[in-house]
Amino acid sequence: MGASWGGLRAVETVLGALPAGFGAPVVIAQHRRHDTPDGVLVRMLGERCALPVCEAEDKQSLDPGVVLVAPADYHLLVEPGMVALSVDAPLNYSRPSIDILLGSAADAYGERVAGVVLTGANADGALGLAHIAGRGGTAIVQDPETAERREMPAAALFATPDARVLALEQIGPALAALAGTRAGSAT
């Protein structure tokens, strides 16, 4: 999942709709200043979410029902079974890059990945989401009309015209339906 301008509220809304037994890992790239103090975003998201939220560490495992957030000024890549951090150059002025996150998830999991592009004021995420769709995964875009900034979801729709377009409040429930819940867990 990726977000930029207006993303805090958008990501909180999506995460807040995920049940405690959510059956898949969640990995997030949220554009923010490189000097954002450690833990601030994680703490804010954790207050609104039934799932554990943590800042991703290099080679951390991907576990169902755990939310990993890209640290400020690091790219976050998905690899089979884990994530990796990178300080490669910013892509389109962004580190973390949503395109890098989504593209790596598509390469690692193909048709088993769902990518989400939320509000933002640039085109980051459009190419990564198109890569997910091209590998048979599920592409979801926040309805630009419900986004604080429509540029990012509009660019994602231009790159992936067959993406599911959902109002912000519908994205969490759609992800829950896609992922299911772990047996015996509360929903």
Residues acting as catalytic residues = 4, 31, 124
CA 160 to chain centre: 16
CA dist 82 and 155 (Å) reads 28
With a CB cutoff of 8 Å and minimum separation 6, the contacts of 71 are: 38, 55, 56, 85, 96
**HSE-up of 160 (CA within 13 Å, CB side)?**
28
